[in-house]
Chain A
Amino acid sequence: MSHSVLGKVVMRQLLLAYRRPAAVLNPLFFYGVVVLLMPLGLGPKQAVLSEFAPGLLWITALLAALLSAEIVFRSDYDDGGLEQLVVSGDSMYLASLGYVIAHWCLTGLPLALVSPVFAQLLSLPAQGLPALVISLTLGTLILSAFGCLGTSLTVALRRGGMLLSLLLLPLEVPVLILGSGIVTRAVNGMPIEALISILAGLALLAIALTPLAIGASIKISLEV
Chain B
Amino acid sequence: MAWAWFHRLGSSPWIYRFSGSLLGYLLPLAMTLVVVGSIWGLAFSPPDFRQGNSYRIIYIHVPVSVVSLAGYYVMAIAGAVSLIWRLKVADMMMRVAAPIGAALTFLALLTGAVWGKPTWGTYWVWDARITSMVVLLFLYLGVYALYEAYDNKALASKACAILSLVGTVNIPIIYKSVDWWYSLHQPASIKFTGGSTIDPSMLYPLLLMIFSVYLLYACLLLMGLRLTLLETEAKTAWARKEVMGAQ
Contact = CB atoms under 8 A, between A and B. Distances in A.
Within 8 Å by CB, do A and B touch in the complex? yes
For A154, A166, A184, which residue has the most chain B Cβ atoms within 10 angstroms?
Answer: A166
A177 interface: yes
B170 A174 contact: yes
A174 B173 CA distance: 7
Interface string A155-174: 00100100100110111011
Given A153-B159, A173-B177, A217-B162, A166 B170 contact: no
Main secondary structure on chain B at its contact with chain A? helix
A15 interface: no
Contacts of B158: 216, 220
Interface of B: 135, 138-139, 141-142, 145-146, 149-152, 155, 158-159, 162-163, 165-167, 169-170, 173-174, 176-178, 180-181, 184
B144 to A, nearest CB: 10
A181 B163 contact: no
Nearest to A149: B166
A213 interface: yes
Q: Which 6 A-B pairs have the closest CB atoms?
A: A174-B177, A170-B138, A177-B181, A177-B177, A167-B142, A157-B149
Contacts, number: 73
A216 B177 contact: no
A113 to B, nearest CB: 26
13 contacts: A153-B146, A163-B142, A166-B145, A170-B142, A170-B167, A173-B174, A173-B178, A174-B174, A177-B180, A184-B184, A209-B169, A216-B158, A224-B151
A35 interface: no
A154 B142 CA distance: 12
A215 to B, nearest CB: 10
A169 B142 CA distance: 10
A171 B141 CA distance: 13
A167 B163 contact: yes
Given A169-B138, A213-B162, A154 B181 contact: no
B242 to A, nearest CB: 32
